[in-house]
Each structure stands twice: as structure tokens, then as C-alpha cells.
Structure 1
Amino acid sequence: MFAPYFPADEPQKFASVHKVFGASNVNKMLQELPEHQRSDAVSSMVYEANARVRDPVYGCVGAISSLQKQIDSLQTQLAIAQAEVVHMRVRQFTSSSNPGVMDMAVDQATMGESLWSC
């Protein structure tokens, strides 16, 4: 049952999965799945088992949480950069189309920069 999914030249895969899930539980899980899904299931179990060995408390949830924080931070940075681009385009348009309004545009730009400096 295990041979196709845990090759002999990669004993650490089975060792991690066995340590975390137990061989009988892995056997039961694999038997409940259609054969075409078993390889993906084993890959997931290996990933989760390795994560659990590295971080016994949080396992793969810790890695997912860390990645989610990175995504949130990058989305915030992207939103700020997009707002700055819009702000610069407005300043450029205002200064090129109506030179007399430049003083007001500079005042608004200064105020806007203080809003975006997080």
C-alpha cells in the first residue's frame, strides 16, 4: 500500500508521516480515497508532517499564518503605492493644465503626503 507513495530512497518522508499520523491512520486515509487522489494526499501529509515536526504547536498553520501576514503587508504596500501614483498624476495634471493653481496643489500634496506616511 505504501510503496508507490513512499519510495525507498526517501525514507524521511515515511518516517515523518508515521511519526505524526501513525502508519495505520495513513493506511486508513489512503484506502478511503480514490486511487487517483492518493498521491496528492500523501504529498499533503508529508508537508503537514514536516511542518508539525518543525513546529509541534502550530504545524502548517504557523506557516500559513506567516504567509498571510506577508500577503496583508504587501497588499497594504501596494495600496499605498497605487494611491501615491494617483496623487502624483493629479499633481502633474493640475500643474500642467492650470499653472496658477500650483500653490494650492503643493499645499494639498503636502497634506496628502502626511496622510500616506504610515
Structure 2
Amino acid sequence: MKESGRKQGAASPCAACKLLRRRCAQDCVFSPYFPADEPQKFANVHKVFGASNVNKMLQELPMHQRGDAVSSMVYEANARVRDPVYGCVGAISSLQQQIDALQTQLALAQAEVVHLRVRQTASLSNHGFGPGSPNSSGSPSSKLMGSQVKPIFDMDMVVDQASLGESMWSC
């Protein structure tokens, strides 16, 4: 039986050697990271970085860092194939815009909750259920609904305006 130069029983070359049409040696730097059953993974990395550059980068890194480096290269190469101009930066920018929009929506929702709680407190104070009234043991909403029902708004959890402003601008 003829041996392929790799581990015995592993006749298939790695995806890199297959694409580059060369013999896959036992000490091939690509084989642990680009298996034969994932040819597109190396194809994109090769298209963006080039096999020689990938080989140099992997050779310069310690063994324990090579897996992370390959994952990063694959991610960047896939992003470059999808968006040749911006690549990963485009994806990051898009996600940052989504975060900004969601933070604005959250701040508006928090402000609306504060506004509704203030209106509820004012309404309850006008009907004799305020903090200074004689029958104000317990929360005002539990007084209105009876003792068996849980209050809708617990006044102990009111968000103050200062923390609302801080959360709106903190990233």
C-alpha cells in the first residue's frame, strides 16, 4: 500500500493543499485548521490574504494562538467576500448603528414610564391616597385594587430623571 506522506489512513489532503494542488505533507501548517470537508473556508482566506501570507502568519505564531488567528482570518475573509469595500468594519458599523437606535428607544421608553408613574402619583394624591393621607398604609395602587391584587406600579421602583439621563448617553 502506498503511503501519502500524511498520517496513515488519512489519504485526503487538507482543503488548502487540495486548492493549491500540492501534496499535503504530515507537517502541513494548514491541515489542522482547514480540513478537507470545508473547502470554502480556505478558498475565501486564500482569495483575501493569499496562501503565502497565511503560511507566514501561522508560522510566526505559537501553536496555542494559531486556532484563534485562523478563526479571525476566516471571519475577515468571509466579511470581505460579502462586502469587498468595508468588510468587518461595515458589519461593526451596522451593529453600532443598531445599538444606538435601540439605546434611544430604551431611553424614550424609560422616560415614558417615569412620566406615567408621575401622573399616577399625582392622580392618587388628588383622590386622597397620597403619602400624607390617613389611609396610606401600603402602596396606593394596592389601596385602589384591594389587598389581594398585586400593584401594577410599585412606587419604590421609580426611575429618577438623573439615572435616565446617564443611561441614555453611557456606552
- Residue 15 (structure 1) aligned to one of 43, 47, 61: 43
Query: Tell me, which stretches of 5 or more residues in structure 1 are unaligned?
Result: 101-118
- Which residue identity does 1:2 align to in structure 2? F
What percentage of residue pairs aligned between the two structures are identical?
87
Q: Aligned AA for 1:61?
A: V
Does residue 86 (structure 1) correspond to residue 114 (structure 2)? The answer is yes
1:25 alignment counterpart: 53
Q: What is aligned with 2:72?
A: 44
Q: Which has the higher helix share?
A: 1
TM-score normalised by length of structure 1: 0.80
TM-score normalised according to structure 2 size: 0.56
Q: Residue type of the partner of 1:70?
A: Q
Aligned-pair RMSD on alpha carbons? 1.3
Matched, 1:98 2:132: no
Structure label with greater radius of gyration? 2
Unaligned runs of 5+ in 2: 1-28, 129-171
Aligned residues: 100
Deviations 1:58-105 (A, max 9, x none): 1111111111110100000001001111111111111101349xxxxx
Distance 2:60 2:123 in 1: 68
CA distance in 2, matches of 1:52, 1:96: 59
Instruction: Name the SS for the 2:36 alignment partner.
Output: coil
